[in-house]
Structure 1
Amino acid sequence: MEKQRNFEESSSQVAVVMVPLAAQGHLNQLLHLSRLIAAHNISVHYVGSATHIRQAKLRLHGWDHPSNNIHFQEFPIPPFTTPPPDPAASHKFPSQLVPALTATTHLRRPLHAFVDGLAGAFKRVIVIYDLLMSYVVQDIGSIPNADCYIFRSISCFCVCSWEAPPDLPTAAAGILTQVPSVKGYYSKEFQDFLDLQFSAKKVSSGEIYNSCREIEGFYLDLWEERINKDGVLNLWAMGPFNPAKIPIKTDHGCLKWLDKQPPNSVILISFGTTSAISDEQIGEIAAGLERSDQKFIWIVRDADKGDIFAGDPVRDTQQRLPEGFEERVRERGIVVREWAPQMEILGHPSTGGFMSHCGWNSCLESITSGVPVAAWPMHSDQPANAVLLARVLRIAVEVERWTRLGARAVVAAGRVEEVVTTLMATAEGDAMRKRAAELGERVRSSMAEGRRLESFIAHITRI
C-alpha cells in the first residue's frame, strides 16, 4: 500500500508532452502511447494543430474515449495548401502531405512556451517527440526540469538498414543489405523538410520504439549498442502500443459479413492512408481477386490530404472499379469505400490474410492479430518492413520487391491472383499462418506483462 501511494504521488508530479508528426501513421502511434502512459495516473498533453488533433481523435480506434488524463493542446499554424494525392505520379511517396508538415515547423515557439509553463507546475516534464519533429523541440533543452525522448515511428530493423553501424555482425549484414535504398527517392520539398529536422539541435535522453524484442530483438540490441556509443542513455522498446485484443464493438457492415464466414477464409486488402493507387492498378487488383476465387474485404479509398477535412469530399470510387465487378463477386467479397475498422477486421477469426503496404502500424496490427501478410510496399520505411516480415519473420509473401523505378510499375492481375491464392489456399500459406499465430501469441503475452513499459514509467516518475 505504501509503495502504491508513493507511486501515485510521484506520478502526479510528472507531466508528459506528446509531439507527433502530422501524418496518420504517426499521429495514432503517439496517441496509443498516450493511453498507456495516462493509465498510470500521469497527465499527458497531446499537442498539435487543431486540424491534426481533430484527425487523431476522429480515427481513434481500438479503445474507448481518451482517458481524462489525456489533454489535447491545440496550437495555430499558418494556412497551408492541401493538394490531392496523385495516383498517376511517377512515385508513390505522399508528396501532398509536405505543405502540412512544413506548416507544423511553426509549432516551435508555442511548444516551448507551453512546456516552460508546465515545468513551473510539475517537478518534471517528459517530452516524447517524433524524430521528424526535431526542429520544433530543439529549444526544450533550455528548460532544466524537462527531459526529451525521441520516438522512432518505424521499425528498428528499418533504422538499422538506413543507418547501418560499421562492422555489422555477419548475421545482420546479409539481410540488411537486401533492403532497397531510398536515398535520392524523396522530392526536393520533403528532403528539405528532412534536412531541417536532422540539422536541428538534438535533445534526447533516449529513443522509444513501438516494437518489442519478440519481433526484432536482434536489431534492437544492435541499435542499442550503437546509440550507447553515441552517448544516448536508453532505448525503450515498449510496443506494440495498439491494444493486444480488439473487442468487436464497431457496428460496421463488413464485420457483420465476417461473422458469416468460415475461420481464416477472408483476406483483407488495404494500402493505408498515404498510398495513392492508380485506376489501372485498381483494375488489375480487381481482376486478380476475381480470378483467385478467394473471399476478401477490399478497402478502396483515396489517400489522405494534408488536411483531411478540406476541399471536396473523397471522390466516388465506384467508377474506378471494373464494370460489374462488385456484382460478380458479391457472394464472396465486399468493397469498403470509407474509413474501416482495420484492427477489428484483422482481429476477427474469419480473417486469415492481409494484403498490405507494410506501413509499421499495419505490420504491428497484423502481427498482434497473428495474421500473415501479402507484402506490397509503396514508399518510405515500407520496403524495409516487407523484408522484415517476409525474410526474417517468414510470415509474409512478397507481391513485388520494391525498387524506386518499380514503384511506378503496375502489378499484373496474374501476380495478384498468385499471391492471394498462395497466402489463402496453399500449404505454404498455412505455414505462414501458423508462424504468424505463434508470433502473435508471444507478442500479446509480452504486451500483457508490460514490463518494459512499467520500467519506463518508473524511470520518468523517479523523484
Structure 2
Amino acid sequence: METEIDQLHVFFHFVPFLSQLIEGAKVLGAQIDILTIRFPASEVGPPSLHMADTPEMQQRLAVSSGLNLISFQRRPDVLVANMFFPWPTDVAAAYRIPCLFLHGMSCFALCASTCLNMYKPHNKVSSDLEHFVIPNLPDEIEFTRSRVPEFEKRDDGSELEKFFKATKEVELKSYGVLVNSFYELEPAYADHYSKVLGRKAWHVGPLFLYDKGFDSSEHECFWWLDSRKPNLVIYVSFGTVVNFNDEQLTEIAAGREASKKQFIWVVKKEKKEGVKEEWLREGFEDRMEGKGLIIRG
C-alpha cells in the first residue's frame, strides 16, 4: 500500500523543478500556474504506477486519475497528452474538453509513419532487405522492411501491437496534434500532413531548452559548438524510445567516421566505469577528437 510519504517523495522532488521553469516563464510575461492532482493509486489497484503492467490496468489507473478533472476550480481549455497515452481522449470527452496529442517527432516522420501504417508496403516485399517506396509522400522515400519499427510490423495480436494500435486510433479521435517542429523547416510535409492526410496539426517547436535553469552553466556541447564554424556540424539523435544493439551502434559510428563531417551524437547508452564499450571501434574516440562529440545517457 502506498503511503503518504511515498506520494510526497514524488511531489517534493518534481514540483520545485517545474516551479523554477514556471517562475522564469512568468518573468517573461506568461501566465502559468501549477495545480496538483491527487494520484489515487491505492484506490484503483496497484501500489504504484510501475506495478500497472498491462494496458488494461494502465487504462483503469489513468482514467481514475483523470476523474479528478471535475475538481478543478478553473475548467481546462484543452488537455495535452503524450502520444503514448491512449486514455486521455476518453477523459477529455467525458468533460467536453478538446484533447491534443504532443509528438516529439517531425512532420516528415509523422507522414512516413502514417503512410506506413495505412498502406503497409513492407508486407508486399519478399525479404527484409528488398527496397520499397513509402506511398503517398511528397518525395520518393525508399525503405526496407528491416528498418521498419517492430511495432509497425507486428500482426500477432500481442500486447505491443494492441497498444500501438490503440494509440493510433485515439489520435484520430482527438482534436489534433502538437508537433515538435516549425513550418519553415519542412513546409512540404507540414502541408501534406494537414491537407493530404487530413490531420489537424500545430507546429510548436523546437521544444528543447537552451538552458535548463537560470543559474545553470553552459553544457560542454555549447562550448564545443561555439568553437566550430556555423552550419558545419551534424546532429545525430534517434530519440528516447529507440534502442540499438551494439552492432547497429558500431555501424552508425563507422558511418559518422566515414562521412568526415563534424558531429554531435547523442547515444542512449551510459558509459560504465571500468567497462569496455564493445560497440566503439578501437581508437574511435581518439580519431574523432576535435571532430565529433558523443553525449551519452
Q: What band does the TM-score fall into relative to the shorter chain?
A: 0.5 to 0.7
Kept in 2: contact 1:213–1:220 (CA 8 A): no
Q: Distance in 1 between matches of 2:142 and 2:78?
A: 34
- Residue 6 of structure 2 is matched in structure 1 by none
Which residue identity does 2:161 align to in structure 1?
A: Q
Q: Secondary structure at the match of 1:273?
A: coil
1:73 is the counterpart of 2:36: yes
Residue of 205, 215, 221 corresponding to 1:240: 205
Contact kept? 2:82, 2:102, Cα under 8 Å? yes
Alpha carbons 1:115, 1:125 under 8 Å: kept:
no
The CA distance in 2 between the partners of 1:287 and 1:198, in whole Å, is: 35
CA distance in 2, matches of 1:147, 1:209: 16
Checking the alignment, whether the CA contact within 8 Å between 1:209 and 1:236 is kept in structure 2 is: yes
Does the CA contact (< 8 Å) of 1:129 and 1:148 recur in 2?
Answer: no
In structure 1, distance between residues paired with 2:259 and 2:206: 34
The Cα shift of 1:159 comes to 6.5
Supply the AA of the counterpart residue of 2:71. G
Q: Which residue number corresponds to residue 109 of structure 1?
A: 64
Distance in 2 (CA, whole Å) between partners of 1:288 and 1:241 is 27
Q: Following TM superposition, by how much is the alpha carbon of 1:268 offset from its aligned partner in structure 2, in angstroms?
A: 2.6
Cα shift at 1:330: 1.8
Which residue matches 2:97?
147
- Cα drift, residue 281 of structure 1: 2.6
The answer for the alignment partner of 2:78 in structure 1 is: 126
Asked if residue 319 in structure 1 is aligned to residue 277 in structure 2, the reply is yes
Residue number in structure 1 paired with 2:163 = 193
In structure 1, what is the equivalent of residue 263 of structure 2?
A: 296
Q: For residue 319 of structure 1, give the secondary structure of its aligned residue in structure 2.
A: coil
Partner of 1:44 in structure 2? none
**Closer/same/farther in 2, CA of residues 332 and 318 from structure 1, 3 Å limit:** farther
Larger RCO (alpha carbons 8 Å, 6+ apart): 1
Offset from partner CA, 1:430-457 (integer Å, 9 cap, x none):
xxxxxxxxxxxxxxxxxxxxxxxxxxxx
Partner of residue 290 from structure 2, selected from 316, 331, 339? 331
The answer (yes or no) to whether the contact 1:152–1:207 under 8 Å persists in 2 is no
Give, in whole Å, the separation in 2 of the partners of 1:176 and 1:261.
32
Distance 1:336 1:100, change over 3 A: farther
What is the deviation of 1:111?
A: 0.9
Correspondence 1:55-454 to 2 at 5 A: 69-71=32-34, 73=36, 75=39, 77=41, 78=46, 79=48, 99=53, 104-105=58-59, 106-112=61-67, 114-118=68-72, 121-122=73-74, 125-130=77-82, 132-143=84-95, 146-151=96-101, 153=103, 155=107, 157-158=111-112, 161=115, 173=136, 175=138, 183-185=152-154, 188-195=158-165, 204=174, 206-210=175-179, 214=184, 215=187, 216-224=190-198, 235-240=200-205, 242=207, 246=210, 250-302=217-269, 315=272, 319-320=277-278, 321-338=280-297
- The question of whether the paired residues in 1 share the 8 Å contact of 2:63 and 2:88 is answered with yes
Contact 1:141–1:203, Cα closer than 8 Å, also in 2: no
The unaligned stretches of length 5 or more in structure 1 are 1-49, 83-97, 166-171, 228-234, 303-312, 339-463
Q: 1:286 corresponds to which letter in structure 2?
A: A
Distance in 2 (CA, whole Å) between partners of 1:203 and 1:292 is 43
| Structure 1 residues 164-204: Cα deviation after superposition (integer angstroms, max 9, x where no partner) | 69xxxxxx83648957676433782222224555777x975
**How many residue pairs were aligned?**
238
Residue 301 to residue 80, structure 1, CA distance change in 2 (3 Å): same
| Cα distance change, pair 196–161 in 1 and its aligned pair in 2 (3 A) | closer
1:207 shift after superposition? 1.6
d(CA) in 2 for partners of 1:70, 1:179 = 46
Question: Would you say the 8 A contact 1:297–1:336 is kept in 2?
Answer: yes
Residues 255, 157 of structure 1: alpha-carbon distance in 2 compared, 3 angstrom cutoff: same
Please give the secondary structure, in 1, of the residue aligned with 2:236.
strand
Residue deviations 1:97-133, cap 9 Å, x none?
A: x948776421111211x21111xx3366532334653
Which residue of 2 is the match for residue 449 of structure 1?
none
**Shift of residue 73 of structure 1?**
3.4
CA change 1:292–1:80 in 2 (3 A) is: same
One-letter amino acid matched to 1:107: A
**Deviation (angstroms), 1:242:** 2.2
AA matched with 1:221: K
User: What is the SS of the residue equivalent to 1:109?
Assistant: helix
Q: Indicate if the aligned counterparts of 2:234 and 2:263 stay in contact, CA closer than 8 A.
A: yes
Residues of 1 paired with 2:167 and 2:114: CA distance? 19
Distance (whole Å) between structure 1 residues aligned to residue 40 and residue 290 of structure 2: 49
Q: Which amino acid aligns with 1:217?
A: D
Sequence identity, in percent? 19
Give, in whole Å, the separation in 2 of the partners of 1:297 and 1:332. Answer: 9
Which letter does structure 2 place at the counterpart of 1:335? I
* Distance (Å, rounded) in 2 between the aligned partners of 1:290 and 1:328: 9
Deviation at 1:259, TM superposition (A): 1.8
Assess if the C-alpha contact under 8 Å between 2:81 and 2:88 holds in 1. Answer: no
Q: What is the CA distance between 1:220 and its match in structure 2?
A: 0.8
In 2, Cα distance between equivalents of 1:133 and 1:217? 26
Q: Is the 8 A contact 2:178 2:204 kept in 1?
A: yes
Which residue type is aligned with residue 115 of structure 1?
Answer: L
